[in-house]
Amino acid sequence: MKIFQTHDKIKINNLLLIGAGLIGGSLTLALKQAHVSRHIIGVGRTPSVMDEALKLGIVDAAVSVDSPEFIDAVKTADVIVLAMPVGQTCTVCTQIAPHLQPDTIITDVGSTKASVYRDAHAALGDKVRQFVLAHPIAGREVNGPQAALADLYVNKKVMICPHETNHTDDVTTIAAMWQATGAQVYELSLTAHDEIFAAVSHLPHVLAYALMNHVADSDLSNDKFAMAGAGFRDFTRIAAASPEMWRDVCLNNKEAILRELDLYLAHTQQLRDDIAAERDADILAQFTKASEMRLAWGREQ
């Protein structure tokens, strides 16, 4: 893992944003505020969402997929940002491919990287060299363009996962774009990315969704929700995240997530058996280890 040096400010004349939700919207708001982008065109599936994005200044214009304006926007884009759920990568890249110019850089914001590379490669062929994979580590418990914030990425981490056919200049441009939002940019391999985020992001999301549904399906569920406190609130905050995005993450980083889930479930089952057998020293040792690590981790953040 390598941290990118801070680059000089870049200028992006024409940016095409595909998907104008929390993550993409926060990016363009930040780029506008930093005077990095000149003109931003947005594309999205839902007209009302795009109207909202236009009203909020996330995009300067909105076009429909496959319209002549969309083709023009692809042709004239300096940077195309894919900010829709990762499951749509192949479809979107297939729409872009025939009109993609050799100097345009494509990038994304997806939580899985090997699958985005695979799908982009399938749709773009050799032009995948123009695709710089990226992933900002930031989110909120609300979704959509109205959730976007110009300062969402300030002091947040962004992973860039260059692959072997990427041009260094393109990678540098995307790193500089993210640095302009206030983020710290790291370089990481696709495989390490997917393994790391399966553990510290994808797994906790699955566990938080499962806890909400477990409580909802259990006895006294209304009283449980009514009495839940700050611990429950923080633990389940990520369960409010976009269901479609996270369904796609689970399907597109399946192997790594299953590996983490199986190890986690075995770990928790062992702790369950320790509690059942009242192995108090083992329980205390486990809790102490976790608590000390969490306190140390908190101090480093």
Nearest alpha carbon to residue 30 among 163, 138, 186: 138
Q: Report in angstroms how near the CB of residue 293 gets to a second copy at its nearest.
A: 5
x/- track of binding to a second copy for residues 53-92 (CB under 8 A) = ----------------------------------------
Applying the rule CB under 8 A, the residues between 180 and 209 that interact with a second copy are 186, 188, 192, 195-197, 199-201, 203-209
**Residues 104/189/297/149 CA torsion (nearest 10 deg):** 10
Which residue lies nearer to a second copy by CB, 71 or 149?
Answer: 149
Asked if residue 287 binds a second copy (CB under 8 A), the reply is: yes
Q: Report in angstroms how near the CB of residue 177 gets to a second copy at its nearest.
A: 19
Find the length of the chain: 301
Asked if residue 218 binds a second copy (CB under 8 A), the reply is: yes
C-alpha–C-alpha distance, residues 266 and 180, integer Å: 43
Applying the rule CB under 8 A, the residues between 219 and 278 that interact with a second copy are 219-220, 223-244, 246-247, 250-251, 254, 257-258, 260-265, 267-269, 271-272, 275-276, 278
Q: Report in angstroms how near the CB of residue 161 gets to a second copy at its nearest.
A: 12
Cβ contacts of 96-101, under 8 Å, gap ≥ 24: 96/123, 96/124, 97/123, 97/124, 97/125, 97/127, 99/71, 99/74, 99/75, 100/74, 100/124, 100/127, 100/130, 101/74, 101/75, 101/77
C-alpha–C-alpha distance, residues 97 and 124, integer Å: 6
- The dihedral sign for the CA sequence 159, 160, 162, 168: negative
Asked if residue 118 binds a second copy (CB under 8 A), the reply is: no
Asked if residue 35 binds a second copy (CB under 8 A), the reply is: no
Q: Which of 9, 11, 75, 289 binds a second copy (CB under 8 A)?
A: 289
Chain centroid, CA 80 distance in Å:
16
Which residue lies nearer to a second copy by CB, 26 or 37?
Answer: 26
DSSP percent split of the chain into helix, strand, coil, nearest 5: 60, 15, 30
Which residue lies nearer to a second copy by CB, 62 or 239?
Answer: 239
Q: Which of 80, 159, 161, 174 binds a second copy (CB under 8 A)?
A: 159
Q: Report in angstroms how near the CB of residue 196 gets to a second copy at its nearest.
A: 5
